[in-house]
Amino acid sequence: MKISIGNDHAGPDYKNAIVAKLKSLGHDITNHGTDSADSVDYPDFGHAVAQDVSQGTADFGIVICGTGNGIAMAANQHKNVRAAVCWTKEIAELCRRHNDANILSVPARFTSIPQAVEMAEHFLNTAFEAGRHATRVDKIACK
Would you please indicate which residues are annotated as catalytic (active-site) residues?
A: 65, 98
Q: Write down how long the chain is.
A: 143
Instruction: List Cα–Cα distances, 106 to 55, 100, 135, in angstroms.
Output: 22, 17, 26
Q: Give the three-class secondary structure for 88.
A: coil
**Residue 123, C-beta contacts closer than 8 angstroms, at least 6 positions apart:** 60, 62, 86, 92, 93, 95, 96, 101, 104
Q: How many CB atoms are located within 10 Å of the residue 79 CB? A: 11
